[in-house]
Structure 1
Amino acid sequence: MQALVHFTVGVFMAMAVFLFVDLPPRREFLLTFLSGFWGMGPDVHWVFREFGVDALADPLQAFHRTAFADLFWFHRLIDSLETGRENLEAAVALGILLVLVVVYYRYNDWTAA
Structure 2
Amino acid sequence: PNETIRFDEIALNNGLGYDFKTGVFTCPLSGEYFFAVSINTDKMRQIVTELVVNDHVMMRVHPASRRLKSNQCSPGIITNLQIGEQVFVRTPIDQSDVKLYGTRKSTFMGFRIK
- TM-score, scaled relative to structure 2: 0.22
| Structure index of larger Rg | 1
Q: Whose helix proportion is higher, 1 or 2? A: 1
Q: Greater share of strand residues, 1 or 2?
A: 2
